[in-house]
Structure 1
């Protein structure tokens, strides 16, 4: 042993001890930090809850209700601020739970503290005043905005309502959203995009941030959105339900509940330029022959067009050719679990569709999408367009003379039943401003005057009976589209419907490109069997009837 190295050893041991002590001290400090951090977080959460409780304390003492005034014998709004400070900018809505058209509103700049309620007479006109309820929004002394709904429940009112929808519909609806919400000092925010992409984002991410309050879309979304817990049911009273066409409410129902407020029907139809084609075709062959004659003489560029790729438009052509995709349930509705894709009649229908693409007339091309197809029609470069009612505004703005009729079947095939879609407003479960969002879609947008004005801004087939009846009388195009909806089949709203459309779209592209029918049909049938799992799908029952409106 070299005793001269003992000091070095002692120094090393001392250093190691110091390091060990420092490590222990660091661990202890970290533990203390975590304890303190947890305590701070708990204190912050407690303060947050306390502040929220304090905010609600004054608001909870402000109330309004509908009642009979024993003094003058009429009906009115009873208002009471039982707190110790005034509330401001109070807006009162008197709502008939059965008839949105009977609602009335009035404002009070200040509601001072009072030991007894003050009665305000209301100009609401209704045959049954006992059916009315009151909703009030107000600002408390701290500048917070509140809403007490018609059931008397109190909610802190957010600064904005976020609405998701495709650009065309949002453009038409924007003024009706913003106008209503502005009355309550709430801002309308919009996010637009392709309708399929918005649906996919909702399903894939749950719309984690920011969360939409309202989503605009077709009814076939409902199954997937419900099963993913993304939208919530809406209860309408029996009288309120009577204002809608029954088919529209049936479309918005899923497993016994109503999950959307419908506003527009849609289906596929044949739009005809009456200057180029004065007579309605008797068959699909007749239409193609007339279109080809015009093309041969140089009067048009295409004998017939429709947008590609979109299986919603392929569907009626295959049916017109004698094909069939799905069977029927006990209630007569489409049953996607019963497939008829890979059958001889459907092969004939697919072949007739294929002949419209590159393997035949070449009037269907992947490069002719929705905008291109509409442009060809409104500029007179094709006499016939297979489309939905959303192109009516384009044709009317172009000053085009046109007529709407059913998609004609090929000779020897019975009249077809096109696929019918109903567009509506869905209320999301995680929306931050659900109380006012619900009022917007349930009460405001279901008023007859609002629906009528919306139809003037954006031509469509309304779902409210009163507006639908007047529209059918005044507009032959709306009448024809409604007839297509009335005889058609509602799109299934099962959760797998998005995958069904995607599989059908791939087949549509294959056929337009000239692929052989038999392998394409076989591939589609196998894919649909895989998606649907060959499960039996029960008919979806009607939504239950409720006596209140959420």
Structure 2
């Protein structure tokens, strides 16, 4: 007799803000991306460890993805005559690593691609039994995001990147440069219509994730890339000429300059202020759509990929991919590989993930099918096409806090060149010591 089960193991915990977005970023809150690792997971010490269900195939995810994963898993269970349990775990990544090492974790885990370096380092996930050629129907940079040391570890179902929202009442156009965006917003500020021209979440501890488009447009970068596109943590570009130009631009836009970038704007209020009509424009991701539509109406805003500064390079936000992974010590790895490589890896499964997890699809076929009905998601998919995958290397853990703090200090008036150089030196030393 077939039995399809879904369980929710919601562990009590205290949400702590990370010094990182999608692994870092500092000021990110629950208002920000619900599907990335932008906010830190609760400390394992704050909650009881989850207990693996007794089903034949057990999948761990977070509560926000639960309905989507459960729908796909239930179909797989019915098709294969097995029992499947889907559990929502609060601190998914850390509890998964611990449980997997003890042999009582899930068979499949769902999460952000920038977990991969840490998961591989801890021997927690297996490569998929799929090649890049097998996944030719997916966005190329989504596959790049889930590839580590030349092997594919995750099946991506959704992508996300930052875009530019503007309130049509105050900044009604789409814009060719960030200079034009700021000018339009400033005109609304000067007229007393809004409080801020462009909201970029930073806060007192900074947010390197949201600052990435500004860094890249001015020619800066975090890690250099090897010829094969992988990141080189030994090549830091924060104090490169482009990185220092970005630092100066941030200073000029900061509280001692034009006051566009403000430490009072953080992940706690950046979206809300825009949705309430108190900011002309906003840099944020697809997770802001519901609040923006509710506050400004379906036709009250424009959305476009973030432009670069006039005469400078294109702005490149980070690409984030959400994916399915096979646990290295799962109790039923055969079912796990079958579920990920066949049960989810099809248009029907990916459409279900899109409809219930509410992210731009990674599978091109599904993306094309929904483009006309959800043009906003197509904009974010285009932004992801233009972005660089969030580095999944373990060295990213050493980046977020010092870089975010440097950005916040520069916004507040610290010397841009020396502050950026100090951030690079701190990051380089931490990487060397790790």
Q: Same fold (TM over 0.5)?
A: yes
Q: Distance in 2 between matches of 1:304 and 1:482?
A: 22
Deviation, 1:316, is 0.9
Question: How far apart, CA to CA, are the structure 2 residues paired with 1:354 and 1:172?
Answer: 43
1:179 Cα deviation from its structure 2 partner:
6.2
Give SS of 1:430's match: coil
Name 1:280's counterpart in structure 2: 174
CA distance in 2, matches of 1:231, 1:381: 45
Distance 2:198 2:125 in 1: 40
In the TM superposition, residue 260 of structure 1 has moved relative to its aligned partner by 0.8
Cα separation, 2, equivalents of 1:237 and 1:320:
33
Map 1:254-333 onto structure 2 (within 5 A): 254-308=148-202, 309-332=206-229
Distance in structure 2 (CA, Å) of the matches to 1:220 and 1:520: 27
Change (3 A) 1:394 1:257: same
Q: Deviations over 1:156-209 (max 9, x none)?
A: 9736725133x444465454446655874433221125xxxx545656886658
Q: 1: CA distance between counterparts of 2:2 and 2:377?
A: 43
Structure 1 residues 25-66: Cα deviation after superposition (integer angstroms, max 9, x where no partner): xxxxxxxxxxxxxxxxxxxxxxxxxxxxxxxxxxxxxxxxxx
Cα separation, partners in 2 of 1:159 and 1:269, compared to 1, 3 Å:
same
Partner of 2:282: 385
Q: Report the structure, 1 or 2, having the larger strand content.
A: 1
8 Å CA contact 1:224, 1:496 repeated in 2 = no
Q: Any residues of structure 2 matched to 1:5-24 within 5 Å, and which?
A: none
Once the two structures are superposed, the pairs formed by residues 454-533 of structure 1 within 5 Å of their partners are 454-533=353-432
Selected match of 1:186 from 84, 90, 97: 84
Larger radius of gyration: 1
TM-score (norm 2): 0.76
Q: Alpha-carbon deviation of 1:494? A: 1.8
Q: Does residue 1:370 correspond to 2:267, yes or no?
A: yes
Query: Match for 2:345 among 430, 446, 468?
Result: 446
Does the aligned pair in 2 maintain the 1:392–1:459 contact within 8 Å? Answer: no
Q: Distance in 2 between matches of 1:256 and 1:340?
A: 24
**Quick one: distance in 1 between partners of 2:401 and 2:239?**
17
| Corresponding residue of 1:222 | 116
Aligned mates of 1:262, 1:90 — CA distance in 2: 28
Residues 310-367 of structure 1 deviation map (CA, whole Å, 9 limit, x = unaligned): 3111111122344343433223555332222223432221122234443344454455
Q: Do the aligned partners of 1:404 and 1:477 also contact (CA within 8 Å) in 2?
A: yes
Q: Which residue of 1 aligns with 2:145?
A: 251
Give the deviation of 1:210 after TM superposition: 5.9
Residue 237 (structure 2) aligned to one of 335, 340, 348: 340
- Cα offset for 1:306? 2.3
Structure possessing the higher relative contact order (Cα contacts under 8 Å, 6 or more residues apart): 2
Aligned length: 379
Quote the offset at 1:304 in angstroms.
Answer: 1.0
1:408-419 matches, within 5 Å, as: 408-419=307-318
Q: For 2:125, what is the secondary structure of its paired residue?
A: coil
Counterpart for residue 423 of structure 1:
322
Structure-1 residue corresponding to 2:12: none
Residues 259 and 529 from structure 1, CA distance in 2 versus in 1: closer, same or farther, beyond 3 angstroms? same
- Would you say 1:231 and 2:125 are equivalent positions? yes
| SS of 1:336 mapped into structure 2 | strand
Decide whether aligned partners of structure 1 residues 493 and 278 sit closer, same or farther in structure 2, where only a CA change above 3 A counts.
same
User: Matches of 2:285 and 2:146 in 1, distance apart?
Assistant: 19
1:188–1:459 Cα change, 3 Å: closer
Match of residue 541 from structure 1:
none
Please give the secondary structure, in 2, of the residue aligned with 1:410.
Answer: coil
Check the 8 A contact 2:141/2:388 in 1, yes or no.
no
Match of 2:22 in 1: none
Match of 2:105 in 1: 211
Could you state the TM-score of these two structures normalised by the residue count of structure 1? 0.61
